Structure 1
């Protein structure tokens, strides 16, 4: 009886000791569900007023990168940034950015000298030449220009910017150097943003927008009238941008060398230079705090599950808005062989649903260019083709940096062409958090499949950029 009671006591003691040990070594779950509270917390930090719009190359952009890096650390990712001051790898990569040569002043000579007011009734979008002059030629879209002429191009009042820029590009490719376009509805709506842009000295072509009044003046001039503009350029100082980078190394001895990159851009437009604006903070909630949060939440979910067979990099790029400097640097200094780069999914503007597609649905830019989207859709991803092909979104995000090098790279989005794009009104109050949470969560299992399969996506015939 005494021995039996002793055995019972010993067993109870072992159980008491073992319970804390078991609790200290929990088993990883297969999938961590994306929670709205986490999405909200990250969005409120990145897109809050305190972050001052995360302007490219500003201290606030760096704070955003450091914050995202700290989240990656918390989720258990491996650091993949620079070496820190004590020789340890960090989660942030500093990217040097050479100062740009930008337009500093602009004036007209001759008959227009007193009528042109730089950034008031005339703005530049592309500028390659300091001296622009030639006979005026008034054209409509599709008509042919004479060599050496300065073209005044009339576009439809409701023409979208992509159409306008396409018409300009066609003229430049045919030999025209300078194109002037009277502002239509969309250009007028975005005039303040266009006036604030730093216009970098380009390699080919000059694109100038004028307001309705100056456009009317030019339209009233005779074909062949001499037009002469002169631009002054200045050199901006060198600066930096920052990428936040974490990774999960694959578990399979062979497949671990193959790499998938999930990315977004963490910067936005910062503070408006126009002191007359009531709200000067461009919070960039949808563009692209939402994409950065998507990358963070996918990192949280995938790190909490079983290790994928392939390696996954989670990257939030800096200075996409200023020229894609973060993604270009990442590509130029790839931490793995380029031939092992399986695919890139860029997440951009996922904070609001697009009424052009069914509810709880995302779309993929360049869907028909490769078989990646279709394969992810087969595995449960609610992905459809981009319903706005005329906007050329495939070429307008960091994915294109990789796609141009032959890497399968697309952007995941649900941007419905809302009017808050690149305006101070792109704020947290406009975000549909339920949609955003479901959207991110819907990508977890398809990406788990991609990261642990041997499927290698391929370009469709003739679809490679």
Structure 2
């Protein structure tokens, strides 16, 4: 017995000399990530349509995970949910496109504006979409994809974009169940939204040959439905109340169910990002609390206008000045083959010092691969960035082959990449949560409010 006591004594002394024991590296379990993604992208959640009961169920699931890990409601909140009202207009008839005061037969409205719009038509024919003029009405004959042309028109604040009717535009109209009208948050400015309409080939060619024509879009009467969008928010209190707060987020919603009954499961977009947030919350609650506090968030209604994140930015759980950085995970279930193996790209990476700091501490991050696509402005980081917070999105691949397609199912996910992507961010984010480093905007990088 004395011999054993002596041995134990020597072991204790050696441990004391070695200093405090180091926590074992956290391991993200593939089976847990798979189970979460499988549920969020399941038939049961019906595609998690924005501001629907299915989105609310997804939020309840995420909140239950947060609570189970030991997260608490955010400061000043009674529970794990933040809700906002979304107003959804519905047309009570057909919209009309008029050229020089004459209705055009066969015109079809794909994306509706807030009200009647019009102006003098400008023809845009270039393949480089960034050369599109900021005109009131643009007639696009560009060979660029309609999606890219439409996104550029929105960024240029074009009031009305006219495209030639095609198999693609007809399919989009059918898939979305008619005109996609602009919803908006109750009590907030409705802003500017580009209307997109198509014309039959003959009418389109005639208009394209006569730039300067007066083109007007007239809307029928509308009704307005009220829906609720839900953010799920969990809070991990840090050791130092003066060190600030990090935001780690993804969006809960996707495109719901199409009128033909097709479920848009949204496994990569963005069940994969939500899994990343859940698993990072699991990792950070398993050990010693970090120096900085962390808000883990699942935003609602990203797909119809980033409404959950917009509401949060206007009603933050902590003062915006206390938020050191915000990191959104978007579509991390597949990897762009053009990226280095295992890498995530950072939208708007050139705008701040955040990417360089994360990379210096082991994050496999890469610069924004295509700034011309404006990915920085198209995800839930944007409302916080507009409010001055250094906020970026990490993504594996943006416009994947399954993007906004019925094929974006659980089976399409690369679980090895998904698990590895989450794993790769545990240590860099732990460093950020324990450090004194505060990322900053590079000159000219901060977006205007």
TM-score, shorter chain, exceeding 0.5: yes
Flag the 1:433–1:262 CA change in 2: closer, same or farther, 3 A.
same
Distance of 1:218 and 1:461 partners within structure 2:
47
Distance of 1:169 and 1:348 partners within structure 2:
20
Matched, 1:464 2:449: no
For 1:138-177, what aligned pairs fall within 5 Å after superposition? 138=123, 140-141=125-126, 151-156=138-143, 158-159=144-145, 161-166=147-152, 170=156, 172=158
Task: Report if the CA contact (8 A) 1:69-1:245 is conserved.
Answer: yes
1:344 is matched with which residue: 295, 301, 326? Answer: 326
2:197 is matched with which residue: 193, 209, 222? Answer: 209
Flag the 1:115–1:221 CA change in 2: closer, same or farther, 3 A.
farther
Unaligned 5+ segments in structure 1 are 5-10, 12-26, 84-88
Distance of 1:144 and 1:403 partners within structure 2:
26
Aligned residue number for residue 399 of structure 1 = 381
| Bigger radius of gyration | 1
**Once structures 1 and 2 are overlaid, which stretch shifts more, 281-290 or 417-426?**
417-426
Matched, 1:422 2:404: yes
Q: Aligned-pair distance for 1:195?
A: 5.8
Aligned residue number for residue 270 of structure 2 = 288
TM-score, normalized by length of structure 1? Answer: 0.80
1:77 is matched with which residue: 64, 71, 93? Answer: 71
Matched, 1:125 2:111: yes
Q: Aligned-pair distance for 1:254?
A: 3.6
TM-score, normalized by length of structure 2? Answer: 0.83
Task: Report if the CA contact (8 A) 2:106-2:200 is conserved.
Answer: no
Q: Aligned-pair distance for 1:179?
A: 3.7
Flag the 1:198–1:299 CA change in 2: closer, same or farther, 3 A.
same
Q: Aligned with 2:219: secondary structure?
A: strand
Distance of 1:160 and 1:406 partners within structure 2:
32
1:116 is matched with which residue: 106, 120, 124? Answer: 106
Unaligned 5+ segments in structure 2 are 6-20, 184-189
Distance of 1:347 and 1:370 partners within structure 2:
17
2:95 is matched with which residue: 101, 106, 109? Answer: 106
Aligned residue number for residue 388 of structure 1 = 370
Flag the 1:165–1:208 CA change in 2: closer, same or farther, 3 A.
same
Distance of 2:173 and 2:42 partners within structure 1:
25
Alpha-carbon RMSD = 3.2
Task: Report if the CA contact (8 A) 1:115-1:214 is conserved.
Answer: no
Task: Report if the CA contact (8 A) 2:351-2:445 is conserved.
Answer: yes
**Once structures 1 and 2 are overlaid, which stretch shifts more, 234-243 or 376-385?**
234-243
Flag the 1:238–1:190 CA change in 2: closer, same or farther, 3 A.
closer
Distance of 1:356 and 1:48 partners within structure 2:
30
Distance of 1:65 and 1:452 partners within structure 2:
28
1:333 is matched with which residue: 287, 311, 315? Answer: 315
Matched, 1:92 2:74: no
